[in-house]
Amino acid sequence: MSTDLDFEAVAEAFYAALFREAPDVERLFRDETNKTVMFVNALESISGLERGDPHFADFMAMLGQRHRDIGITQQHLKAGWTAFNEALDVGGGNLTLPRRQFYRDAFKKLVAAMNYDPDDLH
């Protein structure tokens, strides 16, 4: 399925914005190549899963656990929300509004999987 999302451009824009918004989080992502590959892989996996797919919830739970394990905090997630939305503008300029919302909802599911309140992102 074509999503009109440039995964690598989104990853690059995301980390640039995240490190600008929360410079302290950069220390949690030491391996430059690995972080980009993992982000792209996560986006590709999310892209392939639709709402209601039981694997989507499992994937988001696993992703949430990974982020908890490396020390991502609620404050980092707030910066990540800003960065993710900027990155969608950069790498997803051709996304339909429903597809853009799908990715935004996926980010909120990650936040919920980490036991934080997605409504606190704003």
Gap between the Cα atoms of 6 and 19, Å rounded: 20
Domain segments of the chain as ranges: 7-121
Count Cβ atoms below 10 Å from residue 94 Cβ, excluding itself: 12
pLDDT for 84:
96
Return the ∠ at Cα 103 (arms to 42 and 64), rounded to 5°.
Answer: 50
The dihedral over CA atoms of 10, 100, 60, 29, expressed in degrees to the nearest 10, equals 20
Q: Identity (one letter) of the amino acid at 69? A: D
* pLDDT of 110 over the 80 cut: yes
* pLDDT of 2 over the 60 cut: no
* pLDDT of 77 over the 50 cut: yes
* pLDDT of 114 over the 80 cut: yes
Per-residue pLDDT band for 122 (boundaries 50, 70, 90) equals confident
CATH number of 7-121: 1.10.490.10
pLDDT tens by residue, 7-51? 999 999 999 999 999 999 999 887 777 888 989 999 988 887 766
In this prediction the pTM is 0.88
**Residue environment code for 46-63, b if the CB has 16+ CB neighbours within 10 A, otherwise e:** bbebeeeeeebeebbeeb
* pLDDT of 118 over the 60 cut: yes
